[in-house]
Amino acid sequence: MAEVKRVLDALVRSRRGGLAASAALGGLALIAGLALRATQADATAGPGTGTQPSGKPFDAGALSDDEATLCLRIMVAASAADGLIDARERERLDAAVAESGLDLAGRQWLARELEDPATIDEIADRVQDPGAGARIYAAARLAIDPDTMQERTFLRQLAEALDLDETAVARVESGLAA
């Protein structure tokens, strides 16, 4: 399902419009940038307080189809965390699907995902490293504005399942606010 990257990109751009568009990076690069920020050591922090920057940016094209699928699945799950995918969320998703040119098989897969969203554990069990965990968390956070208790609980449980510490979560949040 190679189109999943296009759906993910379009969904993030539609969700964060100005943030993704003004960065001129697109949705995948925004997810990658937030995750990179989350996993890098603070420039003012002492040694041993986090992963040191590699000096090279993440290539959004290097995101595997499997990881892009996990990002899309967690975005659907996050959107449903408060018990329903409302009309506005559904409209954004439909627009992203239309923009991406998702084929019939992909649309059927997405419809099944919307009917029965993945659990946090299903997603977290497939995450192999801290960078991927941060990208998955960033995708979930981009999918929603945590304005309900259920959404905040979902994000907290996701961070725990992905072994993201409070500092990494705070860096994603500050990246969204930037």
> In the prediction, which pLDDT does 99 show?
79
The answer to whether the CB of 37 falls within 8 A of the CB of 105 is: no
> In the prediction, which pLDDT does 102 show?
80
Q: From 73, 61, 57, select the one nearest 123 (Cα to Cα).
A: 73
> In the prediction, which pLDDT does 58 show?
44
Q: From 111, 119, 81, 105, select the one nearest 93 (Cα to Cα).
A: 111
94 or 117: which leads in pLDDT: 117
Q: What is the mean pLDDT of the chain?
A: 76
The answer to whether the CB of 67 falls within 8 A of the CB of 135 is: yes
> In the prediction, which pLDDT does 160 show?
97
SS3 51: strand
pTM: 0.77
Residue 17 has pLDDT above 60, yes or no: no
Residue 49 has pLDDT above 60, yes or no: no
* Assigned token pair, 81: 């965390």
49 or 140: which leads in pLDDT: 140
> In the prediction, which pLDDT does 163 show?
94
Residue 54 has pLDDT above 70, yes or no: no
Residue 50 has pLDDT above 60, yes or no: no
Give the lowest-confidence range in 43-47, 83-87, 95-99, 157-161. 43-47
Burial class (CB within 10 angstroms; exposed 0-12, middle 13-18, buried 19+) of 16: middle
Residue 154 has pLDDT above 90, yes or no: yes
SS3 93: helix
Max mean pLDDT range (9-18, 63-72, 127-136, 152-161): 152-161
> In the prediction, which pLDDT does 114 show?
87
